[in-house]
Structure formats: structure tokens, C-alpha cells
């Protein structure tokens, strides 16, 4: 798609490509949002902490599949095309979601229930391993000159819309259903909604055109070449993983873990916690394109350095203050601050990652770096946060984990943009 493409067509293309990302992320995050209900349905071990830990372990298992999906599906996308790859990932994610939505509970089929839920999560993780990379690369390759950061930011923006919709549905359900109904069947309704919109999203994704940059490429690597290039550029993947570490830890702290933190730690109501989650996602949706566009003007480096450093310095103190002064208003204020840090950093980070990965393995390289960060760092944030609180007795301990994520981003930024460079070192010249 050339720079002369009408603006209306550009907007429509962004909506079409990110709509599938919306569904994938909507389905993926529902599991974290409704963790307390899912734990009672599939993991009723008689201990709330143990039940929740088993649920978050299953949630995290989906992230362990992401690197495999990134390599296999990413290589497929780099070889066969962006459009076909995005259709395949949508189909795999839909299969996993349908499985989770309709499998009976432990009381009905015993151990088969948690096993089938685990399979559904693994399918979701395998698909999500390349979805974010595929969407980001597509947006980067169809962006108009000088606006790549703004365009690519809508990949993350679609995630925020997914969170807002999931939170609104949860808020509505908790308003009209009794706690008993929510535990018994109400939590499944959002999954049914996700299944219902699958056919529509398949239809609009099939209308996507292949990117002009990919079509112009004379040589398209086969799977063996893709794997070889990834091996040669391992240092780029490693630094990319650390760069994404700040994003994934922050994101899962302030979105997926927020309902559990508000209910289990701060003892706020489900509705208050979900309302805070909605407002946080709305704040993210504002800051992502704003800072993506700003990074097009001032460069990626200053934004990445500033907001990773602010996260290191303020994440724990902010949560420590909130724990002592727990209320709906204070939780909203703290989460909006953390949202400002995350949204500002990520607005520049995603496009930066597309720029440091070699073009011939752009989808697989981006996806592998992102999925490794999610699998090893961010995806287990609810599990790590729950464990830290239980082990240390410090309810603000998740702030330490988020500060660690900021440290990962800060170190990676300094390594990639060395000696004051405003642009990253060319692919192949980045060294650890």
C-alpha cells in the first residue's frame, strides 16, 4: 500500500488489521480478568491461594507457547505473506477460545476439565505468539513516511479497546447477576461473545491486501533461511526481549492483574476494580498514539529512556502508598500514573522493535523477541505478583516486579541506542 493511498483507505485498513488483534487479545485477557471465577470452576482445591495459583499457572502456560508460535508461524508469515498469516492466527485463537468457553466444569467431568482448559490456553498462546508481531509489521509496512510510530501504536491501541470492552462486560454482568450466578455461569458470557464475533472478523480480515513492501521483495526466505537468520541475529532478539520486558510486565500489572489486585488485596468490589481497569485501558489508548507520534518527531531513544527510568523510580512507591491508602479514587489515580508510564514507553517501543529487526525476518524476529519477553517476564506477572505478596507479606510487592521491568527496558535502550544515537544500530551490528 503506497503513501498515495487515500487517508480513508488507510484508516479502514488499520481497522481491519487491528480488529483481528482485538479479538485475539480480548479472548486472551478474559482468562486473567475472570481468574477468580475460573479457579472455582476448574481448580476447586479448597484453598483460595492454591486455587488462584493453579489458575494463573494455566494462564501463564499460554505464554510458554508464544515463542514456539513466534518461530513457526512467524517464519510462515515471513515466507508466505502478512495477510495469509493473520488469517491463520485468527483461526487458531478462535479454536482455543471456543474450547474454554464450552468445556464443562470440574464438578461435571473431573480432571478432564482443567486439562481441556489448558489445551485451550496453549492454542491461544501459540496463536498470540505471532499475532502482535504480524499486526505490528503490517502496520509498519503500510504506514506513510514519517508516521510509522503513530501507525504501529494502534497495534497496542487495539489491545486497550479489547480490555475496555471486556471490563465493561464484566462491570455489567456484576451489576445484574448475583455472585452465585457469576460463579456458576455468568463468567462464560464474555467468552461466548468472543466466539460469536469470530465469523465477522474472518470476513473483514480476508479483505486485507498484502503490503506493498512485501510484494516488492524479490527474495522471500524459506523456513530454513528464516531460522538461520534468527540464529545469526540472536543478540538483536535478546535485546528486543529486554526492551519488551518493560512493556509486558507493566501491561499485565495494570490490566490483567488489576481486577485480582483490587478484589483480593485492596478488598474493593469487583465493579470498582473493573471500572479502574476500564479507565486504565482508556488512558493507555490515549497515550499510545500520542507518544508514538511524538517518537516520530523526537526519536525513540529519549522517550524510552525517560519512561523506563520513571518506572524504576516510582512504581513501588506508588503501589506502597496505595496499599496504605486503599480506596477506589486512590487506586484509579495510581493506575492512571502507571498507565501514563506504560503507554508513553510502549508508544515508542513497538515501532522501535520493528526497526531493529532485519526485514527478511521482521515478523518472526519481532514475534520471537516479544513472545520471549511475555513468556519469561510479563505473562507470569499475575503469578509472580500473587507469589510475592504471599511470600513477603508486602501487598505492594508487585511494584518491585514492575520496577524490574523498567530496569530491563532502560538497559536495553542504552545498549541499542549507544553513545547518544537517536536511531538504533543497524541490524547485525548490535552487540550484547
Does pLDDT of 431 surpass 50?
Answer: no
Pairwise CA distance, residues 27 & 100, whole Å? 10
Residue-wise pLDDT for 77-114, tens only, equals 766 666 677 777 778 888 888 888 888 988 888 888 88
pLDDT band at 165 (very low <50, low <70, confident <90, very high): confident
pLDDT for position 72: 79
Q: Which CATH architecture has domain 7-204+226-420?
A: Up-down Bundle (1.20)
The x, y and z cell numbers of residue 300, run together, are 525513540
Quick one: average pLDDT of 286-313? 95
Rg, Å, the chain Cα set: 20
Least confident of 21-30, 98-107, 210-219, 324-333: 210-219
pLDDT in tens, 347-370: 999 899 888 877 666 777 777 888
Nearest to 273, CA basis, from 254, 290, 260, 288: 260
User: If you average pLDDT over each of 33-37, 169-173, 241-245, which comes out highest?
Assistant: 241-245
Mean pLDDT of the chain: 81
Cα distances (Å, whole numbers) of residue 91 to 126, 131, 301, 398: 11, 11, 37, 34
Contacts of 66 (CB under 8 A, 6+ apart): 125, 126, 128, 129, 370, 371, 372, 374, 375, 379
Residues of the chain above pLDDT 90, percent: 23
Cα angle for residues 177, 183, 185 (degrees, 5° grid): 75
Q: What is the pLDDT of residue 308?
A: 97
Amino acid at each position: 500500500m503506497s503513501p498515495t493511498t487515500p487517508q480513508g483507505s488507510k484508516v479502514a485498513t488499520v481497522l481491519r488489521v487491528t480488529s483481528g488483534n482485538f479479538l485475539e487479545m480480548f479472548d486472551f485477557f478474559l482468562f486473567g480478568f475472570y481468574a477468580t471465577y475460573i479457579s472455582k470452576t476448574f481448580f476447586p482445591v479448597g484453598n483460595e491461594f492454591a486455587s488462584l495459583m493453579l489458575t494463573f499457572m494455566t494462564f501463564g502456560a499460554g505464554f510458554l507457547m508464544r515463542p514456539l508460535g513466534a518461530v513457526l508461524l512467524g517464519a510462515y508469515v515471513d515466507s508466505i505473506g502478512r495477510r495469509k498469516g493473520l488469517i491463520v492466527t485468527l483461526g487458531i485463537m478462535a479454536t482455543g477460545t471456543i474450547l474454554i468457553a464450552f468445556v464443562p466444569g470440574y464438578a461435571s467431568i473431573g480432571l478432564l476439565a482443567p486439562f481441556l482448559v489448558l489445551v485451550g490456553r496453549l492454542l491461544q498462546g501459540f496463536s498470540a505468539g505471532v499475532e502482535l508481531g504480524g499486526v505490528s509489521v503490517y502496520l509498519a509496512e503500510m504506514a506513510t513516511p514519517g508516521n510509522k510510530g503513530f501507525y504501529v501504536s494502534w497495534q497496542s491501541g487495539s489491545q486497550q479497546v479489547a480490555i475496555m470492552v471486556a471490563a465493561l462486560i464484566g462491570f455489567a454482568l456484576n451489576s445484574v447477576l448475583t455472585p452465585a450466578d457469576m460463579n456458576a455461569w455468568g463468567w462464560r458470557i464474555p467468552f461466548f461473545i468472543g466466539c460469536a464475533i469470530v465469523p465477522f472478523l474472518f470476513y473483514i480480515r480476508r479483505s486485507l491486501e498484502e503490503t506493498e513492501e512485501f510484494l516488492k521483495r524479490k527474495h522471500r526466505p524459506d523456513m530454513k533461511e528464516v531460522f538461520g537468520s534468527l540464529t545469526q541475529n540472536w543478540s538483536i532478539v535478546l535485546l528486543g526481549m529486554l526492551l519488551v520486558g518493560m512493556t509486558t510486565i507493566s501491561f499485565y500489572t495494570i490490566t490483567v492483574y488489576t481486577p485480582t489486585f483490587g478484589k483480593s488485596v485492596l478488598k474493593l468490589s469487583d465493579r470498582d476494580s473493573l471500572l479502574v481497569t476500564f479507565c486504565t485501558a482508556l488512558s493507555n489508548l490515549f497515550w499510545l498514539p500520542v507518544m508514538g507520534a511524538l517518537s516520530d518527531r523526537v526519536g525513540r531513544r529519549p522517550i524510552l529512556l525517560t519512561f523506563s527510568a520513571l518506572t524504576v523510580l516510582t512504581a513501588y512507591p506508588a503501589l506502597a502508598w496505595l496499599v496504605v491508602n486503599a480506596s477506589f479514587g486512590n487506586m484509579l489515580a495510581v493506575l492512571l500514573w502507571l498507565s501514563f508510564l506504560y503507554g508513553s514507553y510502549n508508544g515508542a517501543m513497538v515501532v522501535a522493535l520493528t526497526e531493529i529487526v532485519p526485514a527478511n525476518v521482521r515478523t518472526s524476529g519481532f514475534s520471537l523477541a516479544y513472545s520471549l519477553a511475555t513468556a519469561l517476564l510479563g505473562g507470569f506477572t499475575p503469578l509472580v505478583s500473587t507469589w510475592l505478596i504471599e511470600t513477603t507479606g508486602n501487598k505492594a510487592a508487585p511494584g518491585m516486579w514492575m520496577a524490574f521491568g523498567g530496569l530491563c527496558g532502560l538497559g536495553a535502550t542504552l545498549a541499542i541506542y549507544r553513545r547518544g544515537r537517536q536511531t538504533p544500530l543497524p541490524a547485525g551490528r548490535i552487540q550484547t
